[in-house]
Amino acid sequence: MSDPEDKNRVAIAKTAAAAKKKAAESPDARGAAARHAPEPEPAPPAPEPAPEASAPEPAGLPVLRCEHVFHRYPRAQGGYQLVLSDIEVLMRVPDFVSVVGPSGCCKSTLLRLILGSETPWQGTVEAGGRLVQHPDRNRGIVFQRYSLFPHLSVVENVVFGLELDETWLLQKYLTYPWYRRIHRRYVELAMEHLRAVKLDEHAQKYPHQLSGGMQQRVAIAQALIMKPTILLMDEPFGALDPGTREDLQVHIIEAYEQHRISVVFVTHDLEEALFVGNRLLVLSQFYQSEDGRPGEGARIVMDVPTPTTTSTGDKQRGEFKEFVAEVRHRGFDPAQRQRVAQFDLRAAQS
C-alpha cells in the first residue's frame, strides 16, 4: 500500500465504518444488504421452491452462541486429548471478532465447529438460534489459500455456490429458459461482487492466472455472494505481501459494514487482529486451574474490546503497543500462566 494516499483510504474506511456501525443499529440499516438481493423472479414451473437466501439479522440479536464447548481428538497412542475446554462465545449483530492464540491452540478447530464441518464433543454451537450440525450457506468461510476451483474462471467461481444452492440439475433441463434467465442474473450479481474487489476486468481468467492477492479477493467475493450472516476467515491474508494485506484488511472492513455480516477472523498477526476487529478473543493452552495444575485444552483467556484505530499509523501509538504486550503476556507466554479467575473477559460479560 503506497503510504499517504492509502493510509488516508484506511482512515476513511475506518471512519466510515464507525459511522455506519451507528447507522447499522437503526432499522433502515438493512438497505445496503437488501440492495444486493436478487429481484423477485416469476415462480419457475419446477416441483419445489429454491432455498431462500439468508437475510441479515437485526442489530443486537445473538448471531452466534457457543455454550460450554469441549472438543477432543484421538491420540495416536490411544485415548483422547482434550483440545478445547469450556469455550463460551456470544456474538451479537454486527460483531467483528478477531481470534488469536499460539500455534496449535485450535483456532482452526474452533472455526470448523462454528462452520459445522465438525461437531463438538460436548456443548453446543448455535448460529441464528439454530443448532449447528453441518455447514450451510449462513456461514461462509475464506481460507488462507486453495479455496478456488482451478478449472473454473473467476466469474464461474463466484457464481458456483449460488447456482449449486439455488438450482438443481433436473431443474436446469426441465426449465431451461427459466434457468438461463436465472443464470444471467447470477452472473450480473457476481460481476457486482467482482467490481467491488476490482476484479471485474479479470472475470474470464482462471485462478492460476491471478496473483495470491487477486485469488483471495475472488475467495472473498465467492463467500460474500452467498450473503452469509457469519463470515469465517482462517488466516485469510497470511500468504500475502504487506501492501496487498493492508489493502484487503480495508476491503474486509468495508464489506463488513456494507453487508452487515458478523465476522470471525483468525490471524497470527496481532496487529492485524486489532486493526480489523472490534473485539479480540485470545485462545490459549497456557493457563492454570485454580489449584495450580496446567490447563488442559485451550480456553478463551481474553475476550476484550479492541482499541479504536482509524489508520494504520495508530499501530505506533503507546496505548496500542501496551495492549499488544498485554495480549502476548496473557496468552502467548508459557511461563506466564494466569489462573481461570484472572482471565479478562470484559467483552463476554458486557
Binding interface with Mg ion (CB under 5 A): 108
Residue 89's identity, in one-letter code, is: V
Segment contacting ligand ATP by CB under 6 A, of 45-53, 102-110, 212-220, 340-348: 102-110
Residue 263: C-alpha distances to residues 60, 92, 114, 319 (Å): 14, 11, 12, 25
Q: How far is the CB of 104 from ligand ATP (least distance, A)?
A: 5
Q: Give me the least distance between CB of 193 and ligand ATP, in Å please.
A: 28
Dist CA 114 CA 111 (whole Å): 5
Q: What residues between 190 and 249 interact with ligand ATP by CB under 6 A?
A: none
DSSP string of 83-123, one letter each residue: EEEEEEEEEESS-EEEEE-STTSSHHHHHHHHHTSS--SEE
Site size for ligand ATP, by CB under 6 A?
10
Question: Least CB distance from residue 76 to ligand ATP, whole Å?
Answer: 9
Pick from 2, 77, 103, 133: which binds ligand ATP (CB under 6 A)? 103
SS3 272: helix
DSSP state of 325: H
Whether residue 150 is preceded by a cis peptide bond, meaning omega within 30 degrees of 0, is: no
- Distance (Å, rounded) from C-alpha 53 to C-alpha 44? 17
Grid cell digits, residue 145: 489459500
C-beta closer to ligand ATP: residue 105 or 261 = 105
**What residues from 80 to 99 belong to the interface with ligand ATP (CB under 6 A)?**
83
**Calpha distance 48→58 (Å, rounded):** 29
The amino acid occupying position 71 is H
Contact pattern for ligand ATP over residues 104 through 133, marking x by CB under 6 A = xxxxxx------------------------
Based on CB atoms, which residue is closest to Mg ion, 108 or 122? 108
Residue 103 touches which of Mg ion, ligand ATP, none (CB < 5 to 8 A by kind)?
Answer: ligand ATP
Q: Give me the residues that bind ligand ATP (CB under 6 A), please.
A: 73, 83, 101, 103-109
